[in-house]
Chains A and B, each alone.
Chain A
Amino acid sequence: MNDLTPNNEAELVSAVQQALSDATPLLVQGNGSRSGLGRTVQSAKTLSTSNLSGITLLEPAEMVFSAKAGTPVSVVKAALAEHGQAMTFEPMDHRQLYGTDSEPTIGAVAAGNISGPRRILAGAARDSLIGVRLVNGKGELIKNGGRVMKNVTGLDLVKLMSGSWGTLGVLSEVTFKVLPKPVHSATLQFSNLADDKAVAALCTAMKSQFEASGTAHLPAGIGGEKAKTLIRLEGFDSQLRYRLDQMTKHLSEFGKAEEIAEAESEILWNSIRDCGPLAEPSGHAIWKISVAPTKGAAFMARFTSKHAAKHYFDWSGGLIWLAIDPEQYADVGDAALRELLAEFGGHATLMRGPLELRSRIDVFHPQSAPVMRITAEIKNTFDPKNIFNPGFMYSGI
Chain B
Amino acid sequence: MGTIAIPEPDMGILARRQEIIQNLRKLVPGEGVISDATELVPYETDAFTAYRRVPLAVVLPETTEQVSAVLKYCNKAGLPVIPRGAGTSLAGGAIPQEDAVVIGIAKMSRVLDVDYSNRSARVQAGITNLNVSDHVGPDGFFYAPDPSSQLACTIAGNIGMNSGGAHCLKYGVTTNNLLGVKMVMLDGTVLDVGGEHLDAPGYDLLGLVCGSEGQIGIITEAVVRILPKPEGAQPVLFGFETAESAGACVASIIAAGLVPVAMEFMDKLAIEICEAFAKAGYPMDVEALLIIEVEGSDAEMREQLGKIIEIAKQHGVKTIKESQSAMEAAAIWKGRKSAFGATGRVADYICMDGTIPTGQLPHVLARMTEIIDHYGLRVANVFHAGDGNLHPLILYDVNDPAERQKAEDAGNDILTLCVEVGGCLTGEHGVGIEKRDLMRVQFTEEDLRQQMLVRAVFDPAWQLNPAKVFPLDGRNSGQAA
B458 contacts A by Cβ under 8 Å: yes
A130-151 interface bits toward B, Cβ cutoff 8 Å, 1 = contact, 0 = none: 0000001000111110111111
Q: Which residues 271-309 in A have Cβ within 8 Å of B in the complex?
A: 290-295
Chain A nearest CB from B56 CB (Å) reads: 27
In the bound assembly, the distance between CA atoms of A246 and B231 in angstroms comes to 12
Note all chain A residues with C-beta closer than 8 A to B446.
Answer: 140-142
In the bound assembly, the distance between CA atoms of A292 and B198 in angstroms comes to 7
Contacting pair B195 A346 (CB below 8 A): yes
Contacting pair B191 A371 (CB below 8 A): yes
Contacting pair B431 A380 (CB below 8 A): no
Instruction: Tell me which of A62, A156, A318, A365 contacts B202 (CB under 8 A).
Output: A365
Instruction: Tell me which of B119, B198, B202 contacts A367 (CB under 8 A).
Output: B202
Instruction: Tell me which of A136, A180, A204, A368 contacts B257 (CB under 8 A).
Output: A180
Note all chain A residues with C-beta closer than 8 A to B387.
Answer: 148-150
Contacting pair B204 A113 (CB below 8 A): yes
Contacting pair A148 B427 (CB below 8 A): yes
B209-223 interface bits toward A, Cβ cutoff 8 Å, 1 = contact, 0 = none: 011100100000000
Note all chain A residues with C-beta closer than 8 A to B455.
Answer: 155
B173 contacts A by Cβ under 8 Å: yes
Contacting pair B204 A126 (CB below 8 A): yes
Q: Which residues 186-218 in B have Cβ within 8 Å of A in the complex?
A: 189, 191-193, 195-208, 210-212, 215
Note all chain B residues with C-beta closer than 8 A to A162.
Answer: 204, 207
Among A184-192, A234-242, A255-263, A325-333, the stretch that binds chain B is: A234-242
Q: Please give me the residue from chain B that is nearest to A376 by CB atom.
A: B457
A207 contacts B by Cβ under 8 Å: yes
Instruction: Tell me which of B189, B448, B481 contacts A384 (CB under 8 A).
Output: B481
B245-262 interface bits toward A, Cβ cutoff 8 Å, 1 = contact, 0 = none: 000000110110111000
A224 contacts B by Cβ under 8 Å: no
A208 contacts B by Cβ under 8 Å: yes
Instruction: Tell me which of B197, B252, B444, B458 contacts A374 (CB under 8 A).
Output: B458
Note all chain B residues with C-beta closer than 8 A to A200.
Answer: 117
Note all chain B residues with C-beta closer than 8 A to A159.
Answer: 175, 204, 206-208, 210
Chain B nearest CB from A198 CB (Å) reads: 13
B268 contacts A by Cβ under 8 Å: no
Q: Please give me the residue from chain A that is nearest to B469 by CB atom.
A: A154
B320 contacts A by Cβ under 8 Å: no
Contacting pair B231 A209 (CB below 8 A): yes
Note all chain A residues with C-beta closer than 8 A to B259.
Answer: 63, 179-180
Note all chain B residues with C-beta closer than 8 A to A394.
Answer: 202
Supposing A136-B450, A365-B202, A367-B202 touch, asked if A207 and B117 sit within 8 A by C-beta, the answer is yes
Note all chain B residues with C-beta closer than 8 A to A156.
Answer: 162, 175, 207-208, 210-212
Chain B nearest CB from A311 CB (Å) reads: 16
Note all chain A residues with C-beta closer than 8 A to B457.
Answer: 374, 377-378, 381
Contacting pair A153 B425 (CB below 8 A): yes
Contacting pair B201 A349 (CB below 8 A): yes
Among B196, B259, B300, the most chain A Cβ lie within 10 Å of the Cβ of B196
B397-434 interface bits toward A, Cβ cutoff 8 Å, 1 = contact, 0 = none: 00000000000000000000000001111111111000
Note all chain A residues with C-beta closer than 8 A to B185.
Answer: 370
B353-384 interface bits toward A, Cβ cutoff 8 Å, 1 = contact, 0 = none: 00111110000000000000000000000001
Supposing A140-B446, A164-B203, A207-B228 touch, asked if A148 and B195 sit within 8 A by C-beta, the answer is no
Instruction: Tell me which of A140, A238, A293 contacts B450 (CB under 8 A).
Output: A140
Supposing A61-B358, A148-B427 touch, asked if A157 and B435 sit within 8 A by C-beta, the answer is no
Contacting pair A375 B257 (CB below 8 A): no
In the bound assembly, the distance between CA atoms of A224 and B439 in angstroms comes to 57
Note all chain B residues with C-beta closer than 8 A to A158.
Answer: 207
In the bound assembly, the distance between CA atoms of A181 and B258 in angstroms comes to 10
B388 contacts A by Cβ under 8 Å: yes
B447 contacts A by Cβ under 8 Å: yes
Note all chain A residues with C-beta closer than 8 A to B115.
Answer: 292, 294
In the bound assembly, the distance between CA atoms of A34 and B28 in angstroms comes to 52
Supposing A159-B175, A345-B196 touch, asked if A378 and B357 sit within 8 A by C-beta, the answer is no
Contacting pair A370 B447 (CB below 8 A): no
B118 contacts A by Cβ under 8 Å: yes
Instruction: Tell me which of B172, B195, B205 contacts A123 (CB under 8 A).
Output: B172
Supposing A290-B198, A345-B196 touch, asked if A206 and B119 sit within 8 A by C-beta, the answer is yes
Contacting pair A153 B197 (CB below 8 A): no
Contacting pair A62 B212 (CB below 8 A): no
Note all chain B residues with C-beta closer than 8 A to A181.
Answer: 257
In the bound assembly, the distance between CA atoms of A180 and B297 in angstroms comes to 19
Chain B nearest CB from A78 CB (Å) reads: 17
A355 contacts B by Cβ under 8 Å: no
Among A144, A153, A206, A375, the most chain B Cβ lie within 10 Å of the Cβ of A153
Contacting pair A370 B191 (CB below 8 A): yes
In the bound assembly, the distance between CA atoms of A143 and B453 in angstroms comes to 15
Among A115, A157, A315, A371, the most chain B Cβ lie within 10 Å of the Cβ of A371
Contacting pair A62 B201 (CB below 8 A): no
Q: Please give me the residue from chain B that is nearest to A365 by CB atom.
A: B201
Contacting pair B197 A346 (CB below 8 A): yes
In the bound assembly, the distance between CA atoms of A218 and B469 in angstroms comes to 49
Contacting pair B201 A143 (CB below 8 A): no
In the bound assembly, the distance between CA atoms of A164 and B389 in angstroms comes to 29
In the bound assembly, the distance between CA atoms of A346 and B199 in angstroms comes to 9
Q: Please give me the residue from chain B that is nearest to A362 by CB atom.
A: B201
Instruction: Tell me which of B388, B426, B450 contacts A153 (CB under 8 A).
Output: B426
Instruction: Tell me which of B211, B303, B357, B447 contacts A236 (CB under 8 A).
Output: B303
Q: Please give me the residue from chain A that is nearest to B115 by CB atom.
A: A294
Contacting pair B203 A242 (CB below 8 A): no
Supposing A155-B211, A345-B196 touch, asked if A381 and B453 sit within 8 A by C-beta, the answer is yes
Instruction: Tell me which of A144, A150, A242 contacts B299 (CB under 8 A).
Output: A242
A12 contacts B by Cβ under 8 Å: no
Supposing A160-B454, A180-B259, A346-B195 touch, asked if A143 and B447 sit within 8 A by C-beta, the answer is yes
Contacting pair A61 B254 (CB below 8 A): yes
A347-379 interface bits toward B, Cβ cutoff 8 Å, 1 = contact, 0 = none: 101000000000000001101101100110110
In the bound assembly, the distance between CA atoms of A206 and B115 in angstroms comes to 12
Note all chain A residues with C-beta closer than 8 A to B300.
Answer: 235, 239, 242
In the bound assembly, the distance between CA atoms of A62 and B197 in angstroms comes to 31
A223 contacts B by Cβ under 8 Å: no
Instruction: Tell me which of B197, B229, B422, B429 contacts A347 (CB under 8 A).
Output: B197
Instruction: Tell me which of B199, B210, B297, B447 contacts A242 (CB under 8 A).
Output: B297
Contacting pair B359 A292 (CB below 8 A): no
Note all chain A residues with C-beta closer than 8 A to B450.
Answer: 136, 140, 142, 144, 157, 381-382
**Which 7 A/B pairs are nearest by Cβ-Cβ distance?**
A159-B207, A347-B201, A292-B196, A150-B427, A365-B201, A180-B257, A381-B453
Binding site for B on A (CB under 8 A): 59-64, 84-85, 113, 115, 119-120, 123-124, 126-127, 136, 140-144, 146-160, 162-164, 168, 179-181, 200, 203-204, 206-209, 235-236, 238-239, 242, 246, 290-295, 315, 318-319, 345-347, 349, 364-365, 367-368, 370-371, 374-375, 377-378, 380-382, 384, 393-394
10 A-B pairs in the complex with CB atoms less than 8 angstroms apart: A148-B427, A155-B212, A155-B455, A163-B203, A208-B228, A239-B297, A292-B120, A294-B196, A319-B198, A371-B205
13 further contact pairs, Cβ within 8 A, besides A120-B198, A364-B202? A62-B251, A84-B257, A124-B198, A143-B443, A149-B387, A153-B425, A154-B451, A159-B206, A179-B259, A239-B297, A246-B297, A345-B197, A371-B202
